[in-house]
Amino acid sequence: MRHSLTASILSHRDLGDAQFEMTVLAPAIARDARPGQFLQALYVGAGSPLMRRPFSVFRTDPEAGTLAIVYVARGAFTIGMSALRVGASISLVGPLGNSFEPDPRPDVRHMLVAGGVGAPPLYFLAREMVAAGHAPESICVINGARSRDLLVAGADFAAVGVTLRETTDDGSAGRRGTVADELSDQIAASGGCAVYACGPTPMLRAVASLCVEAGVSCRVSLETVMPCGLGVCMGCIIKLRNDAEPEGYTLVRSCHEGPIFDAAEVIW
Amino acid sequence: MRHSLTASILSHRDLGDAQFEMTVLAPAIARDARPGQFLQALYVGAGSPLMRRPFSVFRTDPEAGTLAIVYVARGAFTIGMSALRVGASISLVGPLGNSFEPDPRPDVRHMLVAGGVGAPPLYFLAREMVAAGHAPESICVINGARSRDLLVAGADFAAVGVTLRETTDDGSAGRRGTVADELSDQIAASGGCAVYACGPTPMLRAVASLCVEAGVSCRVSLETVMPCGLGVCMGCIIKLRNDAEPEGYTLVRSCHEGPIFDAAEVIW
Amino acid sequence: MPDLTTSLGPLRLKNPVVTASGTFGFGSEWADFYDLSRLGGLTTKAVTVLPRRGNPMPRTTETASGMLNAIGLQNPGLEAFLAEKLPYLRQFDTAIIVNIAADRIEDFVTLAERLDGQAGVAALEVNVSCPNQACGGLEFGVDPALTAQVIGAVRAATTLPMIAKLTPNVTRIADIARSAVDAGADALSLVNTYVGTAIDTRTRKFKIANRQAGLSGPCIKPLALLAVWRVAQAAKAPILGMGGIMNATDAVEFMLAGASAVAIGTANFVNPMAAVEIVDGIEQYLSQTGAASVQEIIGAVQPAL
Amino acid sequence: MPDLTTSLGPLRLKNPVVTASGTFGFGSEWADFYDLSRLGGLTTKAVTVLPRRGNPMPRTTETASGMLNAIGLQNPGLEAFLAEKLPYLRQFDTAIIVNIAADRIEDFVTLAERLDGQAGVAALEVNVSCPNQACGGLEFGVDPALTAQVIGAVRAATTLPMIAKLTPNVTRIADIARSAVDAGADALSLVNTYVGTAIDTRTRKFKIANRQAGLSGPCIKPLALLAVWRVAQAAKAPILGMGGIMNATDAVEFMLAGASAVAIGTANFVNPMAAVEIVDGIEQYLSQTGAASVQEIIGAVQPAL
Ligand SMILES: Cc1cc2nc3c(=O)[nH]c(=O)nc-3n(C[C@H](O)[C@H](O)[C@H](O)COP(=O)(O)OP(=O)(O)OC[C@H]3O[C@@H](n4cnc5c(N)ncnc54)[C@H](O)[C@@H]3O)c2cc1C
Ligand SMILES: Cc1cc2nc3c(=O)[nH]c(=O)nc-3n(C[C@H](O)[C@H](O)[C@H](O)COP(=O)(O)OP(=O)(O)OC[C@H]3O[C@@H](n4cnc5c(N)ncnc54)[C@H](O)[C@@H]3O)c2cc1C
Ligand SMILES: Cc1cc2nc3c(=O)[nH]c(=O)nc-3n(C[C@H](O)[C@H](O)[C@H](O)COP(=O)(O)O)c2cc1C
Ligand SMILES: Cc1cc2nc3c(=O)[nH]c(=O)nc-3n(C[C@H](O)[C@H](O)[C@H](O)COP(=O)(O)O)c2cc1C
Ligand code: FES
Ligand code: FES
């Protein structure tokens, strides 16, 4: 169930390098949110724009009624958001969209591939899987960024006990290279894999084409502009391969049928 | 000389009843401002509108490079402004407009008549006059408001040593009635008077007609919308009596030729 | 409690707040937020005879106090609307207004005929803002004669209340309004979006694949409000006013300017509860100002001096 | 250092930033802020043959990301302009563009003749957005034929570079632009303000005495940008682009859309330093993107896909 509510900010941590973690009190959403789902946020504050912006749920604590997001202050909206203080309000609509659901096949190796601020929903997924009884060893997180300081949620992933592989473009932490390089090696080394990916579009394309070639199941969380996030405006459309259609594709709403899609179906 | 600068907020006091006193570091303006002049303010912050708003200078400390304004949080702009914290920035253009200049006649009694947030420029005037050697006894401030809590700068006026008469519509402080009632009595009781008035338009009209009838010199500071405050937009026009013109009046800019005019000339 | 009922010609509304076409889908996405029966009415996304895929992405971008959209007429088409969307909408006690669009008059007629008499359809809103060859790529609705042709043809094809939705991108909107009324429109919806664009200075590309897009949101409110007032002076038909209405105060402005009801568009994206909050806010405004009914404020604006 | 020079037909500008008419008075109020010689040009408030008192107050109100103004043509008149304003302006090394307005063609001719050959006047900007009886109270500039008459008459009366300032409140701005160019305009200024209004729900009165007012500021930028792009596609004349330009990025958007120079209006009220900051910002943009001159970016916008 979707909620529209005003949440109060309980903590707002500067993680360095323009990354922030914001925890809010929003019991209804904290209760209902699933990994991969997102919120449409809006604040009234310094530089607040008119339209909402989507942010993935990073962590929830249903008992405490809290949830957190992690974001990068890069544009007008997020830079303004980063100035909000503890005690201030933020308006949230959610949870929205579909979720990452663990591949039900037994013995499958779950590869969670995160690029930059793609990490939050995958951290939520890793935590939920472990809580639901998946063996931490069956979960491998490949977390990549341009450089060490831009890696998101590294310590959080580690705390969950999953296998963690880091990559950076400049080699300042983990393997020098991209998450796709690492994923390629991991797929080659493992038996059955299921891939869950979230990050910048170029990264997702690389991951997707790798998986499709290797015949590995892969779910990707796409990032588009989302004017409404509610499935009504048709501003977030993507194309899914569909041979039954004369044009060979179906249009779907990234906010409503997605944001998570089967990589093999996405037309980039 | 007019300045356009970004000032940092040094203190921001909640005076109660939606009144605030904001002190900023703005050396150039603090040095040049005269009583009755105003600033065009703009902030980037909660609810910040597009256009600047005018605020009278309340107090300056040229040595420290600081100045203060007092305002009532009543509309979108001022409510948003009241949320600004110490250390935040505010953009100021000023000082603008003409100033209250003490009537040079010897032995004249200076009557400073303030209504609500009309008090700030008159406090500045009282302070400057005393600093310039006027005897505090020659200065009588009549400060009025709807009720006790809405009286502005009462303690500040008292500290300057001037004679202070307060009036409230509801009698909760000082005389029950209006500043015009009190002024009328004062004029009747005194010899030569010079009146300086600032406050809501209905009050100014009452004060002005009183003075004109009594033949007392009266300067009023008018409040109009001021899109630019710089004399270029012609959005703040008022009419001054001028028998030389065929229509009987001249149009002047409240922000540039004013905001202070001879009450006998204003066409309300 | 003030009387909130109003009407757009033969269409009775239990309160003056309607959701605007294209900003509310076909209603089902709102189930979690409120009971649609609380609305005066609900306007569907444009329905065309055949399914449409709309424009390429990117389709939208934010602007100062507004947004640009070039969705195009993406919709499942008339038959899918009847089979899949209308049955859901029918269950609510609110006026379902079907927005119809076409680039040929024949298609408008097909839509009107097929929708006529369908249970649950309360009215048609005829979207004459579709680009059309006969207008050199501009909208049908920029030309009084073409507007009259479209409206007249739909009038002949339906007994449903018919609202003509006008484009504001014209020199003389009152002329267009009059010709729509003369051709049989029971009411007028205005405004549709204002045409604009945006450019990314980093890439030096248009931010919208279609180049041209429609501007909506608070930025257009002053323009839309004048359009409503002008048409209210000139045309003898009730007006469904819209354009940047974000709250009850905005809604009241439109009613004072002459709108008999208002539509809420972009505000639905900003605040999913906007439309029902506006219903409550209008009621409050009426109570506080001692008005017994919304009718008292329609067109009640006075000169400033 | 990139080359900032540009031109509007015969009018050479040392940089592409001009202040917009009505938002900069006659320049003297800016003395404390910066040396006017830093501007590419300065457009005066509208000058009419006789002094004008303008509209009654209230004349302005703020709107979402914009402002409405109905100043009317308050100005000291042609002779006072020549005697009192021009001598001040003449001392600066910047192009002085005199905005002229009238409600009769004869008066436009009088203005053009008298200003022709006055030392310090670099160009005329002909404001065809004045309300006119022949257009049913709408502006001259809504009609291509009337626009051509005004522009043709001024053309015959002056050898100064002549810029036609167009109103955007029309169905087909490209048609108006073409007829202005055919009638002899050397360049086109667009846009003037968009007509709108605002109502105070508390008093139920218009917030503007004149009822109708002109909308300016960031809210109109998307609309103005499309108008500039459309005219750049259709008319063979350089464009002075304006409408909501607040910073250098906005200015570059207009130049990419096809403007050869830009005018800064409402931004002067928000930030008195805006115009010179925009000069610097454009230079920076050019340097950062490796452009050798502003000419490289004029009309350089590409499709999104
Ligand atoms: C389903 C979904 C979930 C998301 N979850 C998160 C999240 O958990 N944390 C998070 O930080 N972000 C997340 N985002 C993206 C988030 O919505 C954007 O960061 C935000 O819209 C852009 O920030 P802004 O509005 O401040 O910048 P804008 O004002 O929109 O853009 C300003 C500048 O930022 C750049 N920019 C904007 N978006 C991007 C982008 N996606 N990639 C690179 N540059 C960009 C633009 O090029 C521009 O220069 C998510 C997006 C979607 C669709
Ligand atoms: C020369 C000059 C000096 C000024 N000095 C001061 C000062 O020192 N301190 C100060 O507090 N204000 C001062 N003002 C007025 C100040 O500019 C206004 O308070 C401000 O514009 C209104 O606040 P707002 O923008 O938040 O409200 P707006 O958003 O403009 O208005 C919101 C609500 O406030 C009401 N409102 C707005 N202005 C007034 C008004 N003048 N009287 C009554 N109701 C009003 C409106 O009716 C509306 O309902 C001065 C004005 C001028 C012209
Ligand atoms: C995303 C979007 C899609 C729209 N689609 C349609 C449409 O299909 N048919 C139509 O007549 N109007 C459409 N409109 C216009 C709105 O119904 C409304 O007229 C306009 O947005 C102005 O109102 P607003 O400012 O409240 O949004 C659309 C508007 C938006 C923002
Ligand atoms: C207060 C004000 C007065 C104006 N006066 C004139 C004028 O006299 N002549 C004219 O051609 N345009 C006039 N304009 C229009 C501006 O020159 C400009 O075309 C318009 O404001 C759009 O630009 P902006 O959004 O940057 O302000 C005026 C605009 C404003 C805001
Ligand atoms: S964001 Fe509006 S439909 Fe997806
Ligand atoms: S406020 Fe612009 S001229 Fe006075």
Q: What is the pLDDT of residues A99-154, one digit of tens each?
A: 999 999 988 999 999 999 999 999 999 999 999 999 998 999 999 999 988 888 88
ipTM comes to: 0.94
Of D30, D74, D266, the CB nearest to B251: D74
Strands A109-115 and A139-145 come out as: parallel
Work out which ligand 3 atom sits closest to the CA atom of C73.
Answer: 8
Q: From the candidates C138, C206, C285, which should be mutated to test the interface with D, based on the most D CB atoms within 10 A?
A: C206
Beta strands in chain A, from DSSP E residues, in sequence order: 3-16, 19-25, 38-42, 53-56, 59-61, 66-72, 89-96, 109-115, 139-145, 163-168, 175-176, 193-198, 217-221, 237-241, 249-253, 260-262, 266-267
Q: Is A236 in the pocket of ligand 5 (CB under 6 A)?
A: yes
Instruction: For chain C, positions 12-41, list CB contacts with chain A under 8 A.
Output: 22-25, 29-30, 32-33
Q: Please indicate whether, in this complex, the C-beta atoms of B46 and A48 are within 8 angstroms of each other.
A: yes
pLDDT band at B10 (very low <50, low <70, confident <90, very high): very high
- How many residues would you count in chain D? 305
Give the distance from residue B220's alpha carbon to the nearest chain D alpha carbon, in angstroms. Answer: 19
Confidence (pLDDT) at A13: 94
Give the distance from residue B42's alpha carbon to the nearest chain D alpha carbon, in angstroms. Answer: 8
What's the token pair of residue D60? Answer: 């302005």
* 3-class SS string, B190-218: CCCEEEEEECCHHHHHHHHHHHHHHCCEE
Confidence (pLDDT) at C274: 97
Confidence (pLDDT) at B191: 76
Q: Please indicate whether, in this complex, the C-beta atoms of B227 and D29 are within 8 angstroms of each other.
A: no
Give the distance from residue D251's alpha carbon to the nearest chain C alpha carbon, in angstroms. Answer: 10
Contacts of D286 in chain C (CB under 8 A): none
Q: Is A56 in the pocket of ligand 1 (CB under 6 A)?
A: yes
The mean per-residue pLDDT over the stretch A4-22 comes to: 94
Phi, psi (degrees; rounded to nearest 5) at C168: -90, 0
User: Cβ contacts of residue D275 below 8 Å, gap of 6+?
Assistant: D17, D19, D39, D264, D267, D268
If you measure from the C-alpha of residue C143 to the centroid of ligand 6, how many angstroms do you get, rounded to a whole number?
41
pLDDT band at D278 (very low <50, low <70, confident <90, very high): very high
Interface A-B, measured as beta-carbon pairs within 8 A, has a size of: 10
pLDDT in tens, D185-217: 999 999 999 999 999 999 999 999 999 999 999
Class of the CATH domain delimited by A3-96: mainly beta
Find, in chain D, the residue whose alpha carbon is nearest to that of C175.
Answer: D136
Please give all residues whose beta carbon lies within 6 A of any atom in ligand 4, as ranges. B 233; D 20-23, 45-46, 69, 71, 99, 127, 165, 192-193, 216-217, 220, 242-245, 264-267
Strands C41-43 and C17-19 come out as: parallel
Phi, psi (degrees; rounded to nearest 5) at C234: -105, -30
Q: Please report, rounded to a whole number, the percentage of residues in chain C having pLDDT higher than 90.
A: 93
The pLDDT of residue C13 is above 90: yes
The mean per-residue pLDDT over the stretch B85-102 comes to: 95
C6-55+71-194+215-296, superfamily in CATH? Aldolase class I (3.20.20.70)
* Atom 23 of ligand 4, residue of closest alpha carbon: D243
Work out which ligand 4 atom sits closest to the CA atom of B235.
Answer: 1
Q: Please indicate whether, in this complex, the C-beta atoms of C196 and D222 are within 8 angstroms of each other.
A: yes
What are the boundaries of each domain within chain D?
A: 6-55+71-194+215-296
D217 close to B (CB below 8 A): yes
C-alpha span between D291 and C270 (Å, rounded): 39
Work out which ligand 1 atom sits closest to the CA atom of A255.
Answer: 1
User: Annotated catalytic sites of D, by residue?
Assistant: 130
pLDDT in tens, C59-87: 999 999 999 999 999 999 999 999 999 99
The pLDDT of residue C132 is above 80: no
What are the boundaries of each domain within chain B?
A: 3-96, 100-222, 224-268
Give the distance from residue B148's alpha carbon to the nearest chain A alpha carbon, in angstroms. Answer: 32
* Nearest C-alpha neighbor of A158 from the set A129, A182, A127, A184: A127
Buried/exposed B64-94: b ≥16 CB within 10 Å, e otherwise: ebbbbbbbbbeeebbebbbbbeeebebbbbb
Please give all residues whose beta carbon lies within 6 A of any atom in ligand 3, as ranges. A 233; C 20-23, 45-46, 69, 71, 99, 127, 165, 192-193, 216-217, 220, 242-245, 264-267
Helix (H, G, I), strand (E, B) or coil at A81: helix
* Atom 3 of ligand 6, residue of closest alpha carbon: B231
The pLDDT of residue C135 is above 60: no
From the CA of B49, the nearest ligand is: 2
* Atom 6 of ligand 2, residue of closest alpha carbon: B55
From the CA of C59, the nearest ligand is: 3
Rg of the Cα trace of chain D?
A: 18
Distance from CA of residue D16 to its chain's centroid? 13
C-alpha span between A164 and A217 (Å, rounded): 20
Confidence (pLDDT) at C133: 55
On whether the CB atoms of residues C191 and C220 are closer than 8 A, the answer is yes
Chains that touch A (3 or more CB pairs under 8 A): B, C
Confidence (pLDDT) at A190: 80
Determine the CATH number of domain A100-222: 3.40.50.80
The pLDDT of residue A46 is above 80: no
Confidence (pLDDT) at C137: 62
What's the token pair of residue B264? Answer: 């006998």
Work out which ligand 6 atom sits closest to the CA atom of B225.
Answer: 1
CATH architecture of A224-268: Ribbon (2.10)
Q: Please indicate whether, in this complex, the C-beta atoms of A46 and B47 are within 8 angstroms of each other.
A: no
Find, in chain A, the residue whose alpha carbon is nearest to that of B45.
Answer: A46
Give the distance from residue D216's alpha carbon to the nearest chain B alpha carbon, in angstroms. Answer: 11
Confidence (pLDDT) at D133: 55
Strands B175-176 and B163-168 come out as: parallel
Q: Please report, rounded to a whole number, the percentage of residues in chain C having pLDDT higher than 70.
A: 97
The mean per-residue pLDDT over the stretch A155-182 comes to: 90
pLDDT in tens, D2-60: 999 999 999 999 999 999 999 999 999 999 999 999 999 999 999 999 999 999 999 99
